[in-house]
Amino acid sequence: MILERIDEQLPGALLDRHDFRGDVTAVVAKDRYLETVDLAFKEGFQQLMDLTAVDWPERDLDGRLVRFDVVLHLLNLATQARLRLKVRLAEHEALPSITGRFHSADWAEREVFDLFGISFDGHPNLSRLLTWEDFPGHALRKDFPLDGGDPFCMADSTAPYTH
Amino acid sequence: MAEMDLNDAVMTTRLDAVVNWARKNSLWPMPFGTACCAIEFMSVMASKYDLSRFGAEAMRFSPRQSDMMLVLGTVTNKMAPVLRTIYAQMAEPKWVISVGVCASSGGMYRTYATLQGIDRVVPVDVYVPGCPPRPESMIYGVMKLQEKIEKESLSMRKDHIRRFYESMDRQRGIERDKGLTEQQAVREMVLDAADHNLATIY
């Protein structure tokens, strides 16, 4: 339903879609992201449940490495319908911030920035949320080592114990 | 003047022994609860296991009013300076029990985020293994601490805590001189200690 409404008003904004038992998902073109989110809001999807990302380090779409999916989960409070929007991003690509539309996107975008290294243009305070300031790298990227280069976590390195 | 017959009214002993006897039987615990060990600790304090049988029933949630810190759960690298500050704020003389594998060695969290054992940043007296340890284990840990207190000398404990304060001064110095946050300063001290083949920063 909502997908048809988006198609009507923003033709070409949705690149891909699927709908499994009311679980509606759409892939949004990167340059149509803001207006699509805006339209979803106007159509009643007024609560941002979550904004997160997925890393597919080797995903190749038409000869282009498109590494990340930024995923939005929206809830329509009146009808209880849910909508999932995805945007595909290559490494070093930024997305406009939606903090102007959803206040709850503030920390969610900071978390995605912290753990995936995706920037959000126009965010009021884009700093790390969970890890510390000079943390090396972005922890939820698939190529990030589990120990994060921490010398105490390395295999076979039991800490020397001398006082 | 005739000598008074004091009979059983007077007992002679060493100062260390009598002070430590008082200390070990009036520990004031403070839970530094960060994970499931803290849930287990609730039953240690409650009627079935009842830590008050060991003189440690006066649980306080302020470091200023307690002298035995129980670190109950995973401590992250970001939490390390908080743990140090809270330990520094406790009333002297003070003791630390590291409860569970996470606090003792990082446990199953061999990751970038987790401090691999709180003994890197604060001095620990007793380690209690388990994930989480049963209440009996925690009580056994407290009893072990009591044995330890019984045997130590008063000046030894004083020096032990002073060494920690010196490391705290060093940390503040690093923060001031290099303009680092608490967390970065502790991190730098831990890595620096590792370079010198030391596991601790105090």
State the count of interchain CB pairs (< 8 A) between A and B: 54
Interchain CB distance below 8 Å, B194 and A131: no
Q: Is this prediction's pTM over 0.90?
A: no
Residues in B closer than 8 angstroms to A149, CB to CB, are 112
Residues in B closer than 8 angstroms to A131, CB to CB, are 78, 112-113
Interchain CB distance below 8 Å, B116 and A153: yes
Q: What is the tally of structural domains in chain A?
A: 2
A31-52 pLDDT, tens digit each: 999 999 999 999 999 999 999 9
Q: Are residues A140 and A86 in the same domain?
A: no
Report if residue A21 sits inside a domain: yes
CA atoms within 13 A on the CB side of A96: 14
CA–CA separation, B140 and B137 (whole Å): 5
Q: Are residues A95 and A163 in the same domain?
A: no
A115-148 pLDDT, tens digit each: 999 999 999 999 999 888 778 888 898 888 777 7
Of A137, A40, A55, A141, the C-alpha closest to A98 is A40
Q: Are residues A95 and A159 in the same domain?
A: no
Distance from CA of B200 to the nearest CA of A (A): 7
Q: Are B65 and B103 in contact (CB under 8 A)?
A: no
**Neighbour order of strands in the sheet with A23-28:** A14-20, A23-28, A82-89, A68-75, A47-55
Q: Are residues A7 and A77 in the same domain?
A: yes
Question: Which band of pLDDT confidence, cut at 50, 70 and 90, is reported for residue B1?
Answer: low
Interchain CB distance below 8 Å, B197 and A160: yes
Interchain CB distance below 8 Å, A160 and B199: yes
CA–CA separation, A122 and A103 (whole Å): 13
Domain, as residue range, for A142? 136-163
Peptide bond before residue B93 is cis, with ω within 30 degrees of 0: yes
Residue A59, SS3 per DSSP:
coil
Interchain CB distance below 8 Å, A147 and B183: no
Q: Are residues A9 and A74 in the same domain?
A: yes
CATH number for the domain harbouring residue A6? 3.30.460.80
Q: Are residues A21 and A72 in the same domain?
A: yes
Residues in B closer than 8 angstroms to A147, CB to CB, are 110-112
Interchain CB distance below 8 Å, B111 and A160: no
B133-190 pLDDT, tens digit each: 999 999 999 999 999 999 999 998 899 999 999 999 999 999 999 988 888 898 888 8
Average pLDDT over residues B38-67: 92
A80-103 pLDDT, tens digit each: 999 999 999 998 899 999 999 999
Q: Are A98 and A71 in contact (CB under 8 A)?
A: no
Q: What is the mean pLDDT of chain B?
A: 90
